[in-house]
Amino acid sequence: MSTLIAERPTAAPATARKAPKRRLRGESKLHPLVWVFVVAVMAFSLIPFYWLVNTSLKKGASLSQGELFPSQPTLENYLVVFQNPEFLLALRNSVIIAVVTTTVALVFASFAAYALARLKMRRKAMILTLILSVTTFPAIAIAAPMFSIWREIGLYDTLLGLIIPKLTFALPLAIYTLTSFFKEIPRELEESAYMDGATPFVAFRKVILPLAVPGLATTAILVFISVWNEFLLAVTLTTSPEARPVPVAIAFFSGTSEFDQPLGTISAASVIITIPLVILVLVCQKRIVSGMTAGAVKG
């Protein structure tokens, strides 16, 4: 990505990168009040995480008294979660659903996004508007008829029955993000491929696609997070642990635990599935930011 940005023959990115320096008004000395705000924002973002971890380490009286620090921290809740077959099944389901949906969405979306970003096409604006409008559909509008259709054709309560509707929401997200990444690639590259006698599709596959790998990775992360997070379709279209992904399993966890105070186990399960995503954010922070803001605001 960094090399790409450096090569981009445009004025906009230069100002974009200069911007932070320019705002160096207070230089590195911030007003004390601004520091108060920084600390408040940090606390607001982090304290709930602390409380979740804290709750997951407590049992019995220590849990019900709500100690601010666990006086007798225990990993028992975690053991219970890992011994729960339904949670493990849900984890498996979520991984399958998210990986398959992300892969398929990325393949189709990269074609569509390239065409929309670079090729001559009739009614391009209308097609983009249509694609974007799919993202505004409330999932319940799809979930209700899917519930009936899937029951009739046997896809209800299956992984495939979840992947298909989730793909519908993943595609526009991927197309929208990828289109703006493709636009950033300098046109000269395709021009020289054409000079060498390449057809537009060959230029796309051999020249553009390899250069778009960072954009594809970013899009994959965003799509993965959104599919992993999705709840309404998942809860409407499944009924058994065999097909339930993680969010639904966690939401119904209280019912499956024999403990009188399942809050500890629910918190432990929540921590377990949050850790991979937190690592993803820590490692790919820049990617996620560029993906979320891609194409959103330019000029």
Taking CB under 8 A as the rule, which mask of x and - marks residues 217-236 in contact with other proteins? --------x--xx-xx--xx
Question: Could you say which DSSP state residue 28 is in?
Answer: T
Q: Which of 71, 103, 192, 285 binds other proteins (CB under 8 A)?
A: 285
Measured from the CB of residue 166, what is the shortest distance to other proteins in angstroms?
9
Q: Which is nearer to other proteins, 210 or 299 (CB)?
A: 299
Is position 255 an interface residue for other proteins (rule: CB under 8 A)?
no
Q: Which of 138, 197, 210, 255 binds other proteins (CB under 8 A)?
A: 138
Is position 209 an interface residue for other proteins (rule: CB under 8 A)?
no
Is position 119 an interface residue for other proteins (rule: CB under 8 A)?
yes
Is position 65 an interface residue for other proteins (rule: CB under 8 A)?
yes
Window 70 to 99, contacts with other proteins (CB under 8 A): none
Q: Which of 115, 159, 162, 193 binds other proteins (CB under 8 A)?
A: 115
- Name all contacts of 241-244 with Cβ < 8 Å and 24+ positions apart: 241/85, 241/86, 241/89, 241/90, 242/89, 242/93, 242/157, 243/93, 243/157, 243/158, 243/159, 243/161, 243/162, 244/86, 244/89, 244/90, 244/93
Window 144 to 163, contacts with other proteins (CB under 8 A): 144-149, 151-152
Calculate the alpha carbon distances from 265 to 7, 84, 132 in Å.
51, 10, 40
Sequence-ordered alpha helix ranges (H) in 23-138: 32-56, 60-64, 76-82, 85-118, 124-136
Measured from the CB of residue 93, what is the shortest distance to other proteins in angstroms?
14
Q: Which is nearer to other proteins, 121 or 213 (CB)?
A: 121
Token pair 């966890």 in the structure block, residue? 253
